[in-house]
Structure 1
Amino acid sequence: MPELPEVEEVRRTLEPVVIGAVVARVRLLRPGYLTPPRAPLVHLNGRTVVATHRHGKKLFCRCDDGQTLMFHLGMSGRLESSPAHLPLPPHTHFIMDLTSGLQIRMRDPRRFGGVWYYPSFEKACAAEIHGVLGVDALHLTAAHLSHWSAARGRLKARLLGQRDVAGLGNIYVDEALWLCGLSPLTLVRRLSSNLIQKLVEAIHLVLQKSLSAGGTTLRDYRNAAGQPGGFAASLQVYGRGGRPCFRCGDNLKMLVVAGRTTVYCRHCQKSR
């Protein structure tokens, strides 16, 4: 599933195409891919796109009158910019035609993603962010996690849950935990303020490195220009179960945490 760096890279490569562009029409090619199903997409015709915004793994596109589309890429979704004359690739479910002759196409073979329509950006934020998601991981501070001193749960599960911090998934949680030397099984209430600060710094470092590389492409992910990310070559633990740890040489272990395959070093990442 695309995580924060991948969705941010899509936003960054989409923004130059859509900002200031006028919507000619919007088409839904697969019933059920839009929420609500009878959203008045025709009201977007003639509107100018004025802003993009991302929070966690959710991408927002706002028009001059406030109407907003929210895109979630799910497991295999791609949001791409393409000239209108090019053939539609398979599994294209949603198209926004621009008067410039370009199209914004959403394709999603596995259909875990989707598009949401809101009459205003405020309503989009109220439904998709406020009270639903934690702080965006790029803006995370140790203070945002101070409630962990009285919280239940293990570290990786809390980071994956999105309510404490938004945007992290399996790849970047495994990478950040290895970097700061914390076991995914650590009970969050046992983390000192110093360890939480180390965790926050590790999260920021891993995310920034991935952003600099254009995100991680393992199979499906491409940015809005159709380009893959290059961070897979820098992964330290994700996908390397059973291979030597780059830090100590011990074989990396695999287990399942919160339903996700987890890779960590039992020697370097002590449980607390």
Structure 2
Amino acid sequence: MPELPEVETTRQGIAPHCQGQTVTRVEVRNPNLRWPVPAELAAGMQQQPILAVERRAKYLLLSFPTGTAIVHLGMSGSLRVITDDTPAQTHDHVEVELSSGVRLRYNDPRRFGCWLWTETPESHPLLTSLGPEPLASEFDGNYLFHLSRHRKTPVKSFLMDNHVVVGVGNIYANESLFKAGIHPRRPAGRISRDRYQRLAEHVKETLAAAILQGGTTLKDFVNSDGKPGYFAQSLLVYGRGGQPCESCGTPLKEIRMNQRTTVYCPRCQR
């Protein structure tokens, strides 16, 4: 599933082609995505200039004078810039043509993503209850420490809660907890302020590195120019269950938490 770095990589890839361009055509080939694509989407976008391409959590936001298109890539979606006559494929469900002739093509084999339209994004239910962005200044050790007091939930689940902080998906939670030396099952309320500060710093560092390298290579993910990301080459624990820890040599343990693969070092993380 595309995580925050993949979505940010997509945003950075499409933004230069979109901002300032007018939408000349919107074609919805299959409206049956996670939620039905509303008729207001095409009506709101057509003949309108794209003012900005932004990201909130894992949502892409295409801003127009008339409203905002909310796009989620779902489990297997990708949004690509098409500059030639490549024909649409079976799973290309939404296409947006711009005044430059460039097209944005949304591909989603599992149809678990979404294209929605809102005139008031600040009050849309998908966006209103989200926590801070992990790369924002307000996300730090003090914030995590205060929010975690008296919580018995495992710290990995706490870190992946979008009400706590957005966009720290499974891969990056595994990596950040390893770097901070924190056991993923440790109760969130039993972690010190200093350890949370280290964790917040490693979350920022890990996500920033992944964005710089183009996201993590997942079998279903391609970014806006059709090329895979390369951050998977840098993973220290995720996908390495049973292999030696790169810090101490102890075999990494792989377990399931909330139906997600969790890998950690039983010696380095406590």
Q: TM-score, normalised by structure 2?
A: 0.94
CA contact (8 A) 1:5 1:207 kept: yes
Alignment partner, residue 208 of structure 1:
208
TM-superposition CA deviations, 1:65-120 (whole Å, max 9, x none) = 14111111111100011026221133011111112111111101112211111124
Matched length: 266
Alignment partner, residue 127 of structure 1:
125
Q: State how 1:157-172 maps to structure 2 within 5 Å.
A: 157-172=157-172
Q: Secondary structure at the match of 1:68?
A: strand
**Distance in 2, Cα, partners of 1:5 & 1:37:** 28
Task: Measure how far apart 1:36 and its partner are.
Answer: 5.4
Check 1:107–1:36 CA distance in 2 against 1; reply closer, same or farther (3 A cut): closer
Task: Measure how far apart 1:150 and its partner are.
Answer: 2.5
Task: Measure how far apart 1:35 and its partner are.
Answer: 4.5
Q: TM-score, normalised by structure 1?
A: 0.93
Alignment partner, residue 226 of structure 1:
226
- The amino acid that maps onto 2:126 is E
Query: Percent same amino acid among aligned pairs?
Result: 37
Q: State how 1:1-80 maps to structure 2 within 5 Å.
A: 1-33=1-33, 35=36, 37-63=38-64, 65-80=65-80
- The amino acid that maps onto 2:128 is H
| Structure 1 residues not aligned, in runs of 5+ | none
Alignment partner, residue 134 of structure 2:
137
CA contact (8 A) 1:66 1:121 kept: no
Q: State how 1:183-262 maps to structure 2 within 5 Å.
A: 183-262=183-262
Q: Secondary structure at the match of 2:40?
A: coil
Task: Measure how far apart 1:230 and its partner are.
Answer: 0.9
Task: Measure how far apart 1:42 and its partner are.
Answer: 2.0
Task: Measure how far apart 1:218 and its partner are.
Answer: 2.4
- The amino acid that maps onto 2:135 is L
| Structure 2 residues not aligned, in runs of 5+ | none
